[in-house]
Amino acid sequence: MDTAAVEVVDLVKRYGATTAVSGLTFSARRGAVTALLGPNGAGKTSTIEICEGFRRADGGRVRVLGLDPVADATALKPRVGVMPQSGGVPTGARAAEWLNLMASFHASPIAPAVLMERLGLNSVAATPFRRLSGGQQQRLSLACAVVGRPELVFLDEPTAGLDPQARMATWDLVSALREAGVAVILSTHHMEEAERLADHVVIIDRGAVVAEGAPAALTEGRREVCFSSTPVDSSALLAALPEGSRVADGATTDGRHEYVVTTDDAAALGPEFLATVTAWCASAGVLAEDLRVRRRTLEDVFLELTGRELRDQ
């Protein structure tokens, strides 16, 4: 039982000339929630589908519950739940009938009625899949993924497009799975989702891991000094700060500017750094309004690592 739930080493996946995954390495613990975060096209779905045994890798090594997802697919099937990004249920299948059928394939499933209730699907129990709303389709796919009490479940963007109530119900279910000892691998674009649910976050960009750790560890010690004022000479402020500092200058609609000052060396952003910023403001005759030292969020860290610009993949 001490093997990882999922172990991915130097994974490579190509589609023709596109390298979707290029040397990706991470591992996911049993009984923990691991979130894969990354911009569109980062390679999350490709990685998940290889772990699910739906796609073959072009290089590297993947182990799921200690087994090979393709060669050992039969042994893994009853132990692993899968919620794909879309589909997975025949369009004509009625919600409750399909979930009952999925439950019948497992030795000791969760009662389908309990899942239907928990995920707010009772009112559409007799509705064919194609007539469900997008959010209802997702919730039915989630129910199908977990009904067999899997040891490991893959959830590819489980809350994309869900309303706040459905998102909360999904988060509660993921937390309950974790408490029951299930390993959950989820891909998401929601930073709050990763921060609230994940024990371990893997930030992926251009097919490789750019950072990983517990959400608190990823933001640990990362701070920035923020203030607003009339426009200042930000390059002069930068020159007064230690090497590795950065000053972001954002104009606001009322003609004032929001300044965000930070440094690459997290340990350097202490009382002296703040004093240097305020001393410079004093010398330049600048009244720094709303001055504060802010802890950086996972979203700040994510954008810093993966960039702010939209990409043409």
| Residues making contact with ligand ATP (CB under 6 A) | 15, 18, 20, 38, 40-46, 313
Give 199's contacts (C-beta < 8 A, 6+ positions apart). 29, 32, 33, 34, 178, 214
Question: CB of 116 within 8 A of CB of 95?
Answer: yes
Q: How far lies 222's CA from each of 20, 129, 277, in Å?
A: 30, 46, 17
End-to-end CA distance of the chain: 40
- The residue among 147, 142, 153 whose CA lies nearest residue 80 is 153
Closest separation in Å from C-beta 288 to ligand ATP: 39
Which one, 167 or 223, has the nearer CB to ligand ATP? 167
Query: What is the smallest separation between the CB atom of 230 and ligand ATP, expressed in angstroms?
Result: 41
Q: How many CB atoms lie within 10 A of CB 107?
A: 7
Minimum distance of ligand ATP from residue 43's CB (angstroms): 5
The residue (of 40 and 252) whose beta carbon lies closer to ligand ATP is 40
Least distance CB 247 / ligand ATP (angstroms): 32
Between vectors from CA 71 to CA 67 and to CA 72, what angle results, nearest 5°? Answer: 45
Least distance CB 14 / ligand ATP (angstroms)? 9
Cβ 229 to ligand ATP shortest distance, Å: 38
Q: Note every long-range contact of 121-125, with CB atoms under 8 Å and residues 24 or more positions apart, other chains counting.
A: 121/95, 121/96, 124/95, 125/94, 125/95, 125/96
Strand arrangement, sheet containing 245-251:
245-251, 257-263, 223-229, 289-295
Q: What is the DSSP-derived secondary structure letter of residue 237? A: H
CB of 160 to ligand ATP, least distance (A): 9
Answer whether 51's CB lies under 8 Å from 69's CB: yes
Nearer to ligand ATP, 96 or 185 (CB): 185
Of the pair 20, 281, the CB lying nearest ligand ATP is at 20
Length of the chain: 313
